[in-house]
A and B are shown apart, each in its own frame.
Chain A
Amino acid sequence: MSKVLSTLRYSAEHEWIDNASPAKVGISQVAADALGDVVYVDLPQVGATVTAGEACGEVESTKSVSDLYAPVSGTVVEVNQEAVDNPAILNEDPYGAGWLFTVEVSEEGPLLSAQEYASANGGDVE
């Protein structure tokens, strides 16, 4: 069963975000498991403005490309080059080494608690 970390909040589009400043963003293990082997990641550039609920990148698993959505609005501070170079870490460690980018938050989008996200999408809250 996929893990849903209780310390994070989630978007309906399966991104997680932590409470740090700048905030770290990734995709949930529920989503990573559903996608299968991730083979390609395209992330927003440092300095780019992202808008909550709008596409800001792409994640490709074998033969399927999914849009990546920003869970909040703000400015991208850092991107995880390791995730770009080795996308398999999104499957191996989606809440750790598989983070995608950090963002200086200007406005939050609609976010779910771990319990709310797990209720809607499955997964074990830990």
Chain B
Amino acid sequence: MIVIRLALQSLSARWLTALLSVLAIAFSVMLLLGVEKVRTGARQSFADTISGTDLIVGARTGSVQLLLYSVFRIGNATNNITWKSYTDIASHPDVAWTVPMSLGDSHKGFRVLGTTPDYFEHYRYRSGNKLTLSEGKVFSDLFDAVIGADVAASLGYSVGDKIVIGHGLGSVSFLEHDDKPFRVSGILRKTGTPVDRTVHVGLKAIEAIHIDWQQGTPVPGQSISAEDVRKLDLKPQAITAALIGLKSRLAVFRVQRAINEYPQEPLSAVLPGAALQELWGLVGVAETALGAVSAMVVATALLGMITMILTTLNERRREMAILRSVGARPVTVLGLLATEAGVLTLAGVLLGTILLYLVLAIARPLIDQYYGLNIALSAPTAWEFTTLAAIVLAGIVAGLGPAILAYRRSLADGMTVRV
């Protein structure tokens, strides 16, 4: 009892260095667990980018490719789907709803998506959430645009502003549809999905701004004014992709096969969930890198603790000699030092975990709001418990090194007490 009390008193006599070690370990544990939480959160948010859609249809291509350009708005479609194919698919008996998507233009670096108001009805993210507007309303006029939260925030747009859509996808467009400006009719709430970085316009509007163009340039002398274009039939010739909802999910493979074997045109239908998994497999390398970095941080903190114990070892030679003189066994001396390291690590691990949960509890809504990342405030997983236990164990082992050194020195010192 006295020995333990004295060990604690010894520790409290060195409280500042001990506290710093505990804090270093606590912060590293916080980082490690935090990275893990963000990783799971990111994975979940990623998997939740699109839900409620049973199939995504595009021209024949790989599933990741189709997912990238239709949902993530990255890269380009190699080919379009003809309007006829789209209407054929829409009239398939198992299909409940379809949303056409036409991509290819941009506004100051943000993709422009031509679609129908159904998109806002059927596109779901994060297990079934609908897109909602923070301002204004869904487009009703031909030249109305609904912009994502990031577009509004970074370009400072509000409802009623005029915007001009550029032809093509560069952030600086050399060809602009400046004869037919759009009006911002609504701004969407932040979702944490690519929707935030998209300008949504009507499918007909995409047709309208290209009606007097051919081969990607305006045809000279044939310009049709924004007023005249309203009188024309704006049925699109082709779209880039379509989202499909089925009457019954059980039909998903049947419909997928029907689309993949559609005789008039080579098409692909992919299951968004499966394609998301496949895509995560590609970006998952970053996860491993994050994990490795935080493991290194923990190792650094443990090194710091060993340094702390080693630097105090010299002043503790007196302690060792006294304990040896009253008959303490090497085991006791070793045990005291290793226990000290264990106690410090355990305190650090507990403090780090508590701090992380506190920070998460406070910052979670903010992270969701600003980064669209939904981090679950869940109990530590088995993996996390194992890791934490491993850190404490590593701390005890790390303490054994200095302990053995201390014992050797106490032997060499013999009866002399050195300071």
Is A bound to B? no
